[in-house]
Amino acid sequence: MRLVRPKTTGGDKVWAVLLTNETYLPGVLALAHSLRSVGSAYGLIVLYTDTLPSKVLSALSARFIDTQLIDYIRPANGPNYSNDPRFNDCWTKLAAFSLTQYERVVQLDADMLVLQNMDELMTLPLDSATEASKGISTRVLAAGHACHGTPETAHQIAPACNASPMGYLNGGLLVLVPSAALWERILNYMHANASGMGFADQSVLSELFAGRWVPLPYIYNALRTMRWEGVHEVIWRDDKVKNLHYILDPKPWAAQTGEVGMRLEKDPTYQWWVDLDQQRKTWDKNNGITDGL
């Protein structure tokens, strides 16, 4: 597996998001605009595989969004994710560790929306790549804890869910220091142990770096279901959330207008995405972008 070396965006610290198919393009466009809207000082790079249609790359280029071609990653002995095929692509998210041309990468999921500036993650103290690769580091990366207590999370739970470790991280947002040595360790561990991994990339990182990652507050990876009544609404604060994660289907861009309206009473966060995306479309128009996306 090659190391990704060419730098495609200015600066040594970047946001990164994986895009493997056209379905999630609306999410990536909204994510990019949300970072712009909150005044982030750091660029976004879209990691893509060779199956991504050229028209998608053109849409990203038209909006001044940098891209980087990476290899598709999937272990030969990985589990059968036929009940939830999205996990097949999740292995490829591990490629963020190979971006050694950057000193800091904060990886986001394509179904996220940044509501407040969170540039502080770019300077969050983590151990150096040298320390991390020696196995003595207790701050290899930072992430939020995986939450298995929200409704409709069958897709997140391994077959033997009662045995799932409670110390798993959620791979939706990762703060990391790319490293050739770490990248090699990650790949070796993945290929040796993939058959028993129910959460793809999350399993790799949670197991390989158990007790060696920094837990982040929920505000950086706020699952929209946490806001629901009877879940974690007691701790949820709309004005504190910095990064909203639209887990589960339908995604805001996939739902028809009527479906979104039906869901607003229970989950007004759909409207937050719709409003931001409308701002994005206005920005597109003002900048001469007329592809209709």
pLDDT digits (tens, 9 = 90+) for 203-227: 999 999 999 999 999 999 999 988 8
User: What ranges do the domains of the chain cover?
Assistant: 13-286
pTM of the model: 0.89
Q: How far apart are CA 107 and CA 293, in angstroms?
A: 24
Residue 263, phi then psi, degrees to nearest 5: -90, -15
| pLDDT tens digits, 123-178 | 999 999 889 888 788 999 999 998 655 444 433 433 333 334 567 999 999 999 99
User: What Cα–Cα distance (Å) separates residue 150 from each residue in 83, 132, 143, 186, 242?
Assistant: 19, 33, 18, 29, 19
Top CATH class of 13-286 equals: alpha beta
Count H helices and E strands in the chain, helices first.
8, 10
Residues of the chain short of pLDDT 50, as ranges, are 150-164
